[in-house]
Chains A and B, each alone.
Chain A
Amino acid sequence: MPQYLVSVWHDDTFEPDFSTPDAQRRVAQVNAFNNELQRAGAWVFAAGLHPASSATVVRSSGGDVSMTDGPYAETKEQMGGFWIIEATDLDSALEWAGKAAAACEGPVEVRPAQG
Chain B
Amino acid sequence: MTDALEEIFRREAGRCTATLIRVLGDIDLAEDAVAEAFATAAEHWPKTGIPPNPGGWITTTARNRAIDRLRRESTRSERHLAAHRLSRDSMDPDDNPELDRLDELAGVVADDQLRLMFLCAHPALAADAQVALTLRLLGGLETSEIARAFLVPEATMAQRIVRAKRKLHDNHASYRIPRAAELPDRLHAVLAAIYLIYTEGHTATSGQSLTRTDLSTEAIRLGRTLVELMHDEPEAIGLLALMLLTESRRPARSNAGGTMVRLADQDRSRWNRTMIAEGHELVRACLRRNQPGPFQIQAAISAVHADAPTADATDWSQVIALYDQLLALRPHPVVGLNRSVAVAEFRGAAEGLAALEIDAATLGNYQPYHAARADLLARAGRRDEAIDAYDRAIELTTNAVERDFLVRQRAAL
Contacts and interface: CB of A to CB of B under 8 A. Distances in A.
B89 A89 contact: yes
B170 A89 contact: no
Interface in A86-110: 88-91, 93-94, 110
Nearest to B86: A89
A112 interface: yes
Nearest to B174: A89
Nearest to A91: B174
A88 B87 contact: yes
A89 B171 CA distance: 7
Contacts of A2: 87, 172
Chain A at the B interface: SS class: mixed
B90 interface: yes
Given A89-B172, A112-B170, A112-B172, A94 B124 contact: yes
A93 B89 contact: no
- Is the interface on chain A under 10, 10 to 19, 20 to 34, or 35 or more residues? 10 to 19
Interface string B161-196: 000000010111110101000100000000000000
Nearest to A111: B171
Contacts of A110: 171
Nearest to B179: A91
Nearest to A1: B89
B409 to A, nearest CB: 44
A90 B124 contact: yes
Interface in A57-77: none
Contacts of A112: 170-172
A8 B148 CA distance: 39
Nearest to A87: B172
28 contacts: A2-B172, A88-B87, A88-B89, A88-B90, A88-B172, A88-B174, A89-B87, A89-B89, A89-B90, A89-B172, A89-B174, A90-B87, A90-B122, A90-B168, A90-B171, A90-B173, A90-B174, A91-B174, A91-B176, A91-B178, A91-B182, A93-B171, A93-B172, A94-B124, A110-B171, A112-B170, A112-B171, A112-B172
Interface of A: 2, 4, 88-91, 93-94, 110, 112, 114
Given A88-B172, A90-B124, A90-B168, 4 more contacts: A2-B87, A88-B87, A88-B174, A89-B87
Those 3 A-B pairs whose CB atoms lie nearest each other, nearest first = A89-B174, A90-B171, A89-B87
